[in-house]
Structure 1
Amino acid sequence: MSPALLFSFVIGYFVLLLVVAYFTSRNSNNDSFFIGNKSSNWMLVAFGMIGTSLSGVTFVSVPGAVGKPLGAGFEAFTYFQIVIGYVIGYFVIAYVLLPLYYRLNLTSIYNYLSNRLGFTSYKTGASFFILSRTLGATARLYLVVAILQDAILSSFGIPFWVTTAVILLMILLYTFEGGVKTIVWTDTLQTTCMILGLIICVVFILSHMNLSFGEGLSALSERGYTSMFVFDPNSRLFFVKQVLAGAFITITMTGMDQEMMQKNISVRTLKDSQKNMLTFSLIQAVVVLLFLFLGGLLYLFASQNTVAATGDKLFPVVALEHMPPMISVVFIIALISALFPSADGAITALTSSFCIDLLGLKRREDWDEKKKKSVRRTVHLTFAAIFLLFVMVFKWVNNPSMIGVILKVAAYTYGPLLGLFTFGIMTKRSVNDKLVPYICIAAPVICFFLDKFQKDLFGNFEIGLELLIINGAITFIGLLLISKPGKVSKEVEPVAAHGNY
């Protein structure tokens, strides 16, 4: 299919998003932008969060990693070990963190740190979120923009930076007014398109190779693509490490992340928010398993049709060069459906956190609603410009597997958040608030050297994603060293849910 025709489908899809944004953003204000006026439907939030959590990286990198060499075999379905940890993490969020956030009636979850540890701790936590989400979201954005550039826009002679700028402009157009209120609906639409695209691609490949679902699974098993658990304790993919890492990745990257929690706390009641979280966790696990199955099928298809591509390039090459035109269209629509939820939510959450946590927008009594709205719009535009800059940096670095980059960034930047929240929840000690930023900076630095020199320090034992846990533990220990016994307000103590808030 010609790039021009593919591009026309992209434009049509974007127009549909604008129509949704128009109807959902009418009569919007700052509360609509930040927390959707606390009136979001939990079922829509749960379904839409699938697109946000998976993103274009999952759409491309997870299938591509199935055939990545691992010892005498392949990584296969070992990523599902992390997903098992994800499900555990979502239960912790539902019954430990969400009750806390609802009881405090938070707009920004980092206000908890202010109530529990102090104003400097609050600013430190918000700053680490802004850094982490900026790096993670722009890495995800880069991967999908690169595919769209190669598949469509390079044939028109359009530079990469222009492609990125246009996509960011599209996102700005439909999030500028409605924020979370709009995103809840657009994410639902985009998640639907992404999952439909995934299913259609799986069905087509099975049909093309004359296989049923069961026969496809058997063929993958014969090639060694369905192996799921690694039992070597020294391996970075050892299942205990992966499950624990998955649980803590979820607790930090969802439960302690303003972007993900912003949508959850926009649901009217705690009970509905918990239903949203648990429903989302189970659906996400099934969807990831289907992505892994697709990855195995792609490698089977590639071996039968002499496709040389592997890793992140495999799915795009097969879909755009070796499948019928309509499947190529499905792939492109599904890909941008995976792109937009991760980028639009990130820019909106970063705007919210910067305005509320760093600028103190909620506390500024000297600013009227019009002034606050103007500041929020300016910050929103600024983050779009920052995204453009960081995407260009990732293009310059050009790492072959972006999912590895994203998880490594998370290990370094979410570790201090894990330490801060855990210390606040698990202890009743008070910290020397002014020293907290130094502890939170020192922990990732120590982890960098542990990771860099791990062979010298630990021999054959490999540190993988559990680096996040180590980072959080070092932060926790540092906070203990600068703390003393103190009193904790009952409001900031976590309790099990027992009603509506």
Structure 2
Amino acid sequence: MTPILVFGIIAGYFLLLMAISHFTSKKADNSTFFTANRNSPWFLVAFGMVGATLSGVTFISVPGEVGNSNWTYLQFVMGNMVGYAVIALVLIPVFYNLKLVSIYEYLQKRFGRNSYLTGSGFFLVSQTIGASFRLFLAALVLQMAFFDAFGIPFYVTVFVTIGLIWLYTFRGGIKTIVWTDTLQTSFLLIAVVISIYMIVAQLDLNISEVFKTVSKSENSEIFDWNWRSDRNFFKTFLAGVFITIAMNGLDQNVMQKNLTIKNTRDAQKNIFWFSLTFFFSTLLFLILGVLLYAYTLENNIALPEKTDGLYPMLALNHFGIAAGIVFLLGIIAAAFSSADSALTALTTSFCVDILDIQKGKLENQKKTRLLVHIGFTILMFCVIVIFNSFNDSSVVNSVFKVAGFTYGPLLGLFIFGLVSKVKVKDRWVPLVCIAAPVISVILDLYSTEWFFGYQFGFEILLVNAAITCLGLYLLKTPKKETEATPSEEVKEDVLV
């Protein structure tokens, strides 16, 4: 594709997003930005969440990762389904019962102010890193497809990409994102379907031959039963359950969209329908991965040094202009759908949790929100540029590995709060939540030496959360001081 064609695609797509932003941000205020006035249709949120959850990580990394770990990623996705059920049946009623704007307000009601700020702080760190990793992938593709042709450096590509996202989110916030995510999910799924079609056509396969090619490929092996492997089924499945709870149910980015829906029942329907759509969408990406490797083998194409580069390389250089266009639209949609909601969630959490913006004067609230939005835009830009300087592994593994350390304390805080009635010494909670990931990192580094060759995978999240729970238990206050806590009320509501 010519740089001018790429520029036209990007410009046209961005204008479409700006049009949506214009219509959804009319008469927008802070309530619109943070909660969309709690009036979003559940089915719209469900479909839009698919694109935000898949993101650029799935779009680029999952098909390429098939060459490294086959379909073992599906073990993780199976665990995701159980995790989404827990979110729908347990967490959604809790958050709706308490009428939260930021889900970390629960921690203040359950433990105290220090726990609240600690939970919000870990989310801010986790989301900044995770969203930056995802946007980094999209910036690499745009650099390859357009900016390299004009000798424009990578940091300019990142600046332009994140600047465009800021422009269409700074007014309407989450209300705009609910609608733009729907558009972006459509483009993302259309892109992968057309990519599969183009490969099948060039390999001259019929439907039965496609299924035969996929089923007989060594790359489509799903289960790994080796207990020492970091891809062992039980480890990966359980990690899928708890990472979903942590990275979706305890993540302001995802839950903020759910909290824009009118009531608990509709929010639960949203989660269940979204999870089914997500599962089959991931399956499409894994099928695409097998076909990509079959295509390179058939045409004697040299594989790129990094698996993340396989899909972009083939789509932009071998599948033809039409496939290149839909791929570019797909990666832009994937990047924008994850980064825009992340930017809004970071702004919401910082304004509500750290600055307590509701207590300020109305005229100052909007200005504060705007400044925070700008601040996180700049921060994400810096993180992406830094990450580009030392990235040396598959991004799909990097994101979840980082999440294992940063979401562990969050998972531990919420589990301990929901399943126990124990009150803790709130002032020491930050120390426990810092110590838990530090200990987890040490265990991860020396696991093969200390545990007879055992390697931690995604399940390091569970270890991290368990250490946090143990630390919280050690901080318990004397029983005579324990009073009824919000968690008791919450559990009653969930049972009802």
Q: TM-score, normalised by structure 2?
A: 0.97
Return the letter of the residue paired with 1:35: T
Identity %: 44
Following superposition of structure 1 onto structure 2, how do residues 7-406 of structure 1 map, counting pairs within 5 Å?
A: 7-68=7-68, 75-310=69-304, 311-362=307-358, 364=359, 367-406=360-399
Deviation at 1:306, TM superposition (A): 2.0
Deviation at 1:203, TM superposition (A): 1.1
SS in structure 2 opposite 1:297? Answer: helix
Number of equivalent positions? 490
CA distance in 1 between counterparts of 2:121 and 2:232 reads 32
The 3 A distance-change label for structure 1 pair 11 and 256 is: same
Deviations 1:81-116 (A, max 9, x none): 000000000000001101000000000000000000
CA distance in 2 between counterparts of 1:123 and 1:334 reads 37
Alpha carbons 2:147, 2:157 under 8 Å: kept: yes
Alpha carbons 1:44, 1:185 under 8 Å: kept: yes
Deviations 1:361-412 (A, max 9, x none): 12x2xx3222000000000000000011000011101223111110011000
Deviation at 1:232, TM superposition (A): 1.3
Alpha carbons 1:309, 1:317 under 8 Å: kept: no
Out of 381, 400, 409, the residue aligned to residue 402 of structure 2 is: 409
Deviation at 1:487, TM superposition (A): 2.5
**1:469 alignment partner in structure 2:** 462
Return the letter of the residue paired with 2:347: T
Moved more, 58-67 or 142-151: 142-151
SS in structure 1 opposite 2:491? Answer: coil
Deviation at 1:495, TM superposition (A): 4.5
The 3 A distance-change label for structure 1 pair 396 and 168 is: same
Alpha carbons 2:97, 2:493 under 8 Å: kept: no
The 3 A distance-change label for structure 1 pair 6 and 468 is: same
CA distance in 2 between counterparts of 1:297 and 1:14 reads 31
CA distance in 2 between counterparts of 1:234 and 1:213 reads 38
Deviation at 1:497, TM superposition (A): 5.1
CA distance in 1 between counterparts of 2:449 and 2:70 reads 29
Deviation at 1:460, TM superposition (A): 2.0
Return the letter of the residue paired with 1:405: S
Alpha carbons 1:138, 1:387 under 8 Å: kept: yes
SS in structure 1 opposite 2:423? Answer: strand
Alpha carbons 2:412, 2:466 under 8 Å: kept: yes
CA distance in 2 between counterparts of 1:489 and 1:436 reads 17
Out of 484, 489, 494, the residue aligned to residue 491 of structure 2 is: 494
Alpha carbons 1:412, 1:471 under 8 Å: kept: yes
Deviation at 1:25, TM superposition (A): 0.6
Q: Which runs of 5+ in 2 are unaligned?
A: none
CA distance in 2 between counterparts of 1:495 and 1:80 reads 35
Q: Which runs of 5+ in 1 are unaligned?
A: 69-74
Return the letter of the residue paired with 1:143: L
Deviation at 1:213, TM superposition (A): 3.3
Deviation at 1:496, TM superposition (A): 6.0
CA distance in 1 between counterparts of 2:374 and 2:294 reads 44
CA distance in 2 between counterparts of 1:292 and 1:420 reads 34
Deviation at 1:211, TM superposition (A): 1.2
Deviation at 1:221, TM superposition (A): 3.1
CA distance in 1 between counterparts of 2:165 and 2:263 reads 29
Alpha carbons 1:99, 1:495 under 8 Å: kept: no
Deviations 1:26-64 (A, max 9, x none): 010000000110001101100010111110010000000
CA distance in 2 between counterparts of 1:60 and 1:270 reads 34
Deviation at 1:218, TM superposition (A): 1.4
The 3 A distance-change label for structure 1 pair 498 and 17 is: farther
Alpha carbons 1:85, 1:246 under 8 Å: kept: yes
Alpha carbons 2:421, 2:485 under 8 Å: kept: no
Deviation at 1:14, TM superposition (A): 0.6
Alpha carbons 2:86, 2:245 under 8 Å: kept: yes
Moved more, 305-314 or 106-115: 305-314
**1:6 alignment partner in structure 2:** 6
CA distance in 1 between counterparts of 2:217 and 2:90 reads 42
Alpha carbons 1:21, 1:174 under 8 Å: kept: yes
CA distance in 2 between counterparts of 1:399 and 1:139 reads 12
Alpha carbons 1:97, 1:494 under 8 Å: kept: no
TM-align CA RMSD: 1.2
Deviation at 1:421, TM superposition (A): 0.3
**2:445 alignment partner in structure 1:** 452
CA distance in 2 between counterparts of 1:32 and 1:419 reads 31
CA distance in 2 between counterparts of 1:266 and 1:34 reads 8
Return the letter of the residue paired with 1:471: N
Deviation at 1:143, TM superposition (A): 1.3
Deviations 1:446-482 (A, max 9, x none): 0010011111111222211000000000000000001
**1:72 alignment partner in structure 2:** none
Deviation at 1:8, TM superposition (A): 0.9
The 3 A distance-change label for structure 1 pair 279 and 497 is: farther
SS in structure 2 opposite 1:328? Answer: helix
Alpha carbons 1:118, 1:433 under 8 Å: kept: yes
CA distance in 1 between counterparts of 2:187 and 2:125 reads 30
CA distance in 2 between counterparts of 1:213 and 1:137 reads 37
Return the letter of the residue paired with 1:354: F
Higher helix share: 2
CA distance in 2 between counterparts of 1:332 and 1:61 reads 15
CA distance in 1 between counterparts of 2:29 and 2:207 reads 49
SS in structure 1 opposite 2:278? Answer: helix
